[in-house]
Amino acid sequence: MDLRTWAEVELTPGEGVEVRMEGLPDEPTDLVKLCVQAVLDRFSVKKRAMVRTGSDIPVSRGLKSSSAAANAVILATLNALQAEMPAVDVLKMNADVSMRAGVSVTGAMDDAAASLLGGIVFTDNHARTLLRRERFELCDRVVIAVPERMIRKSGLPKERIALYRPLAEEAFRMAWNGEYVKAMTLNSLIYGAALGLDQELPIKALRAGAVASGISGTGPAVASFVDSVSEKLVAEALGKDVLIANVYHGVRSCV
């Protein structure tokens, strides 16, 4: 989706990283600091960094706000250095830093790739490999229900989630074979069961005409893909706490 996450980095002589997160003064800044330092270390640069960053993506709702933030900060630091990195290297750095910061168990290269490249992406998170990327053709709009509840990565029941791994692998196979709606539905059922999240919102969205609907990531947000006919009906069915965005098809190449 095309919700915006932005970052600005100013480099001056000295050491250390100062972070100002617009609208999120109480959020941890470890991820931002580690992203800046990773870029500086890659180019063997010693500088002091002042970072300003903000986002339209609600945090800790399963909407991949951390992956988007890491991408934004890495790119902003590269811009401050007037340097470049291949997109795949940006994704690998994002994954490594996300694990070090404790915001991801696997590094979430899939989330980082979807944020940076857009469209549909397939990755091997453990091997840090981008397997495939293609355009999402089902529709161009998405309605997102954003419950007030937040689910922090540190609070995820990893043992419960691990029990559903065979089903998660089946969802991956479905998506790989182009059965995106089935894969999204199965993924929603998996994380709903593992995390104790009900399926009422996805069901409401589907009844209202959504092309597909399900829990996003580890939730609790629910993403519903819609067409021009169903967009308003789905938004009304999901209640007042919704965001409506365009599907992000991406502008970057993979190299």
What does the pLDDT look like over 192-214, one tens digit per residue?
999 899 899 999 999 999 999 99
pLDDT in tens, 94-104: 999 999 998 88
Classify domain 5-133 by CATH number: 3.30.230.10
Mean pLDDT value across residues 233-243: 93
Is 73 in contact with 7 (CB distance < 8 Å)? yes
The residues spanned by each domain of the chain are 5-133, 136-246
**pTM of the prediction?**
0.92
First to last CA, the chain: 22
User: How far apart are alpha carbons 188 and 193 in whole angstroms?
Assistant: 8
Q: Left (φ > 0), alpha (ψ -120 to 50) or beta: where does 240 sit?
A: alpha
Which residues lie across from 7 on neighbouring strands? 53
Question: CATH classification of 136-246 is 3.40.50.1000, yes or no?
Answer: no
